[in-house]
Structure 1
C-alpha cells in the first residue's frame, strides 16, 4: 500500500478512537451532539477522510473505504447507546433509579381453597379426639368394596363408576377403604379422619370431577350411639359454618352404615328461604353418614356385639363451593391464577 493509503488508514483509526472517547465522555445532549458533528457531521473528520479516498491509488481504495464505513457504523452505534443512557439518566434523578417505572409484580403463594377446607375440617374433628390418617389411592377390591359390605355385583362396583387397573385392583372410589385398614391395624377405641383423593368415572362438569377430594370419618368404641354421632356432627357444623347454621339428618342408605343419614345445613346464601344455590329448598347436603354396619365390624375382626361406631364422608370441594359461592367445580381444579389469587 502506498504512503497515501496507509496515512488514511491511520487517520481512520485515530478518528475511531477519539470519537468513541468523545461520545463516552458526553454528559448531556449538547455534548453528544457536538461529538456527532465533530466526527460524523457533513464536514466532520470522517467526511473529510472519505472525500480524500479519491486521491488513493485504485488498489487501496477498497480497503480504505471499507475501514471508513466500519468506523462510521461503530461511531453511530456508540451515539445511539449514549443517547439512550442519557435519556434514562434524565428520567431517573434519584441515584440512577427511574422512579416513574411501575414496580415489578411479586408472585405470592397461597393455600388452595380446598386444602384450607380440608385442614379446617380435620382441625375441628381433632378437638373431638380424631386423628388424621392417610391411605393408598390404589386399592384392592377387598378394601374398596367387600370389607365395606359392598358386594362386587353392587352398582357401586360397576365398571361405569370405577377405574379398574385389573380384576382385583382399582383406583379407590372413596376414602372409606382406610376405615377397614385402620380397624384391621388397631383395636378400639378408634377415631380417625381420612382426607385424600378419590376417583370415579364421572364427567368433568360444574358439579362433578373424575378425581376429587374426600374426607372420611370413623369413630368406634364401646357404647357409641346415634346421640354421640349427632352431637359430633352438630359440633362440626357450628364451628365450620357458624353458630347460627341449622342442620338436619335425613334417612338414606349406604351399604356400610345402618341406619344411614344424609346431613343437610341451612343455605348460607339465602338463609333458608330458598335460592338457586340450594335448589329452592333452603338446605344444602354436605355429607353422607350413619352408624357402622355390623357386617363391616365382622369383616375386620371387631366384635359387633361389643363395639359400635359411626362414619361419615364429605366432599371438601363441594363445601368450599358452598362457603365461597363458587358456581362451577371446575374452577377449583383448572389452576387458573386469576381465580385462585382471590383466596391468597
Structure 2
C-alpha cells in the first residue's frame, strides 16, 4: 500500500488497478463522507487481500475499519501505536499524517504539526520526496513563510506536478498557492489540463476565472463562471461567482443586479455588499445614498476590520449629515430669517409711521 503516497486522492484510489489501494480508498471515502456503504464494501473486499498484505498494511487497515465518524483522536492514538511498532513504515506514517492533519486543520495544534513533519521526514528518508510529502509540507510551511520561502515551496510543488501531472491534489494546491502569490499567468497555464478533468472542484475553477479576469481575459473568465453557476451548489462559490460577474460587467445596472444576486445568495459576503453600495452610489448619488449606507453597514458587520469599508461608510455618513442639514435645518433657518425680516421690516415701518404722526400732532 506504499503507493498511496503517489496517488492519495480518494477518487483516484477507487479507480486504481491495485486492489489494496481500492480498499484504502473506500475506507478514506467513508471517513470523508460518512457513508456506511463505503466501509461495508471495504471490509468485504479486504477479505480477498489477507494473504497479500504486509503486517503494517494490515495494522493500518485495522485502524481504519474500526474508525467511527468524528473520532479522529481515537484513530490517532491507535496509529501512534502502529507507528511505534513499525517506525519506518511508509503507509503507517502516511495515514497518521492524514489524521493528524485533520486535527491540525481544526486546532492548529503544535504537537500535531511536529508529528506530521516527523512522519514526513521518515517517509522521505525511506523513499525520498513524493507527491504526498510535498503536498503536506507545502501546506504546513506556507503560512509561516516569507515571500522568498513561498516561492521556493511553489517551485518544489511545481516540479512535483510535472513529475506527476495526473495527481489532482498537487495540481489544485499548485493553483491555490500560485493564485495567492498573484502568479496569474501560471494559474492560466495550468487551467487547460485542469478544466478538462471530470471531477474538478468549482473552488479551483473560480480561482482560474479570477486569474483570467486579472489578466483582462474577460471572455475566458466569463466562460468559467458560467460553468460554476450551472454546476455548483456551494453558496460561497456561487456568491463569489456572481460578484465576479459584477466586476466584469460594463454597466452600473448590470453590476447592481449581479452584486445584489451575490449578496442574496450569501448575505455574509462583505465584498459583494460593499461593491453593491458603491455601484448604487455611483448610479444615483442623490436617490441611493441611504440604501448605499445600509449595504455598507451590513458589510461592516460581516467584516468589521475592513478599512476601505469603514472609510466608505464615513464618506456616506458625511453626505447624509449634509443632506439632512440641507433638507431639515436649512429650511428652518430660512423661515426663521424670513420671520425676522418681516418683523424687522414691518416693525420699522410701524415705528416710522408712529414717528410721523407724533410730528403732525
Shorter-normalised TM range: under 0.3
Length-normalised TM-score, structure 1? 0.18
More strand by share: 1
Length-normalised TM-score, structure 2? 0.18
Bigger relative CO (Cα 8 Å, ≥ 6 apart): 1
